[in-house]
Amino acid sequence: MDDLILARVLHVIGVVLWIGGVAMVTLVLLPGLKRMASPAEAMNFFIDFRRRFAAQARYTTLLVGLSGLYMTYVLDAWHRFMQWQYWWMHTMVLIWLLFTVMLFVFEPRSRRRKQPSQTNITAQTFTRIQRKHMILLILSLITIAGAVAGSHGWLIPGGRI
Ligand code: HEM
């Protein structure tokens, strides 16, 4: 029982560090960069910031994934993936997969590639980046709300087993 609680504690700490970082980038950093006088300079700053964030987000996604899998195993909750009332289990895994591919495949690949010319970077570039981050953030927040409510017993009627 104690190990389940410990897994839950680590899971939530991982989620706070990781999704909290995504919220900060989306709601504070990107709007600030959009207003900078030199978009090329802003992009250089963003690339460096993203590299540093990705380095720590790799550990937190790993922590969230391992603790999540462990809880699924201990609770023997595999059947939930067959029940739509547990939609938040599906979206947890979906978000985890999306970020894992971005952090472990795309981010290292973009670092190895030569940086493209920065002359065509404008404020609109940051608006586009912010839109993508906003979609991920909203999806993550809906998932967090569903996971907290669902794992404490608030399920869509008819879904309790
Ligand atoms: C491989 C990926 C993941 C797996 C297998 C997984 C699995 C789980 C399991 C089994 C629980 C406990 C449910 C219960 O007690 O009934 C849980 C709780 C939770 N998960 Fe995940 N999870 C994953 C990723 C995520 C992600 C990406 C997020 C955030 C976006 C997240 C947020 C949460 C939250 C907020 C809780 C509720 C904690 C609580 O209030 O007790 N999980 N997860």
- Residue 107 structural domain: 2-151
Determine the distance separating the centroid of ligand 1 and the alpha carbon of 107, expressed in angstroms.
24
Tell me the whole-structure pTM to 2 decimals: 0.94
Domain count across the chain: 1
For position 155, what pLDDT does the model report? 87
Q: Which residue has the higher pLDDT, 108 or 115?
A: 108
pLDDT score of 112 more than 90 = no
For position 31, what pLDDT does the model report? 96
Q: Which residue has the higher pLDDT, 69 or 157?
A: 69
Task: Give the torsion through C-alpha atoms of 29, 31, 32, 34, to 10 deg.
Answer: 120
Q: In this structure, how many other beta carbons lie within 10 angstroms of the beta carbon of residue 85?
A: 15
Look at residue 68 and tell me if it is in a domain. yes
Look at residue 96 and tell me if it is in a domain. yes
Cα 160 to Cα 109: distance, rounded to the nearest angstrom: 44
- 148 CB less than 6 Å from ligand 1? yes
Look at residue 81 and tell me if it is in a domain. yes
Cα 150 to Cα 160: distance, rounded to the nearest angstrom: 10
Q: CB within 8 A of 149, min separation 6: which ones?
A: 155
**Can you tell me the mean pLDDT for 47-63?**
95
**Can you tell me the mean pLDDT for 98-122?**
84
Look at residue 51 and tell me if it is in a domain. yes
Look at residue 92 and tell me if it is in a domain. yes
Could you tell me the pLDDT band of residue 161, with boundaries at 50, 70 and 90? very low
Question: Is 42 in a helix, a strand, or coil?
Answer: helix
Pocket residue to mutate for ligand 1, from 3, 19, 62, 71, most atoms within 8 A of Cβ: 71
- 71 CB less than 6 Å from ligand 1? yes
**Can you tell me the mean pLDDT for 79-102?**
97
Determine the distance separating the centroid of ligand 1 and the alpha carbon of 16, expressed in angstroms.
12
pLDDT in tens, 61-89: 999 999 999 999 999 999 999 999 999 99
pLDDT score of 159 more than 90 = no
